[in-house]
Structure 1
Amino acid sequence: MKYRSLLGAAAGAALLLAAPAVPATADASESVIVDSVGRLAADGTVTLSGTYRCTGAAGPVFVSSNLSQDRPSVRHGIGGSRAVCDGAEHRWVNSGLTTAGSLHAGAARVEATLMELHPQGGLPLPRFHATRTQEVVLTEG
């Protein structure tokens, strides 16, 4: 009995992994931009910001961001915020607590993604509206 439930869980996971992501839109007017300066608080909280623009969303849309510094293979997830896809430019601000001392003031690389959970066949699948990787400067404060 134990093996059947494990087998069922594995089959379900395989189906989810095999489900293709909804392709990104080809609309050149969709974008996500990262401000060139981020803030690093003494407790390790990082705040990143920027602007975005998107259209035509059928499901909830989010702006996510991650940051790396010194070691590109180590990324810190820096929050996420809801987005409105009405064709207008909007501001986004994400904050996240990292381990104090794991980051420092100076150059860093931010990746921001504008992603929709697009309903397809009863499952919310990722639909990427825009991504951007950009060098920023973290400042203390």
Structure 2
Amino acid sequence: MRVRLVLAAAALLTAAVAPLAHAGGADGHHTADRPTGSQLRDGHLHDSNLRDSRFTDSRFTDGHFTDGLFVDAYGTVADDSTVTLSGTYRCLDDSAGPVFVSSTLVQGDRSTGIGGTRAVCDGHLHTWTNSSVAKDPAYVPGAARVEATLMQLSGTGLPLPRFLATEKADVELR
């Protein structure tokens, strides 16, 4: 009987700790394998099977759904200084208020908010794309960092933000 209790306790502890191992680090940000090669064209991921595989860890498959957000490995800077960033998200419930995907681009000592997209929270995988003209000084092709947030506005009166998921990712601007 004592052996069964020890085995049951070990199984429960493993089930409780395993999702934390998938969190990607002490800061709680999930880090997904970044796609390469033919999976990326024009800064967007075109292999839907790979995009779906980002959501196969225990956060999405053990019956206890949590929201998720990912940033594509490439962004673009157009000749008119329009910056476009993109990625994938999944959220379950927007009944408490609207949900948005916001993004901030950091390059060198410069940081700028790049748009915001209204999210559809139906439990399915969706893509997001945010664009904004960022001048004075303009961003340039090369290494940058994106901080993306899946945020819900809720409450009566003045809506308050509730952060559902965040992602910090190194990107290449083209």
Deviation of 1:100 (Å): 5.7
What root-mean-square deviation, in Å, do the aligned CA atoms of Structure 1 and Structure 2 show?
1.7
Structure 1 portions without partners, runs of 5+: 1-25
Taking the TM superposition and a 5 Å limit, the aligned residue runs for 1:37-116 are 37-57=74-94, 58-71=96-109, 74-99=110-135, 101-116=137-152
Match of 2:3 in 1: none
Q: Which has the larger share of helix?
A: 2
1:43 Cα offset (Å): 1.0
The code of the aligned residue for 1:55 comes to L
What is the deviation of 1:55? 1.5
Displacement after TM superposition at 1:101 (Å): 4.5
Alpha-carbon distance in structure 1 between the residues aligned to 2:67 and 2:99: 13
Q: Which TM-score applies when normalising by structure 1?
A: 0.73
Structure whose residues are more often strand by fraction = 1
Shift of 1:118: 1.1
Counterpart of 2:140, as a letter, is: H
Q: What CA distance in whole angstroms lies between the structure 2 residues aligned with 1:106 and 1:116?
A: 32
Q: Report percent identity of matched pairs.
A: 55
Give structure 2 stretches of 5+ with no counterpart: 1-58
Decide which of 149, 163, 167 is 1:132's aligned counterpart.
167
Match of 1:29 among 66, 81, 90: 66
User: Is this contact kept in 2: 1:43–1:100, CA < 8 A?
Assistant: no
The 2-side partners of 1:132 and 1:115 are apart by 12
**Structure 1 residues 106 and 136: alpha-carbon distance in aligned structure 2, compared to 1, 3 A threshold:** same
Higher relative contact order (CA 8 A, sep 6+): 1
User: Number of aligned pairs?
Assistant: 111
Post-superposition offset of 1:123: 3.0
Report the alpha carbon displacement of residue 122 of structure 1 after superposing the two structures with TM: 3.1
Q: Deviation above 6 Å: which 4+ runs of structure 1?
A: none
- Work out the CA distance in 2 between the residues paired with 1:46 and 1:100: 13
Larger Rg: 2
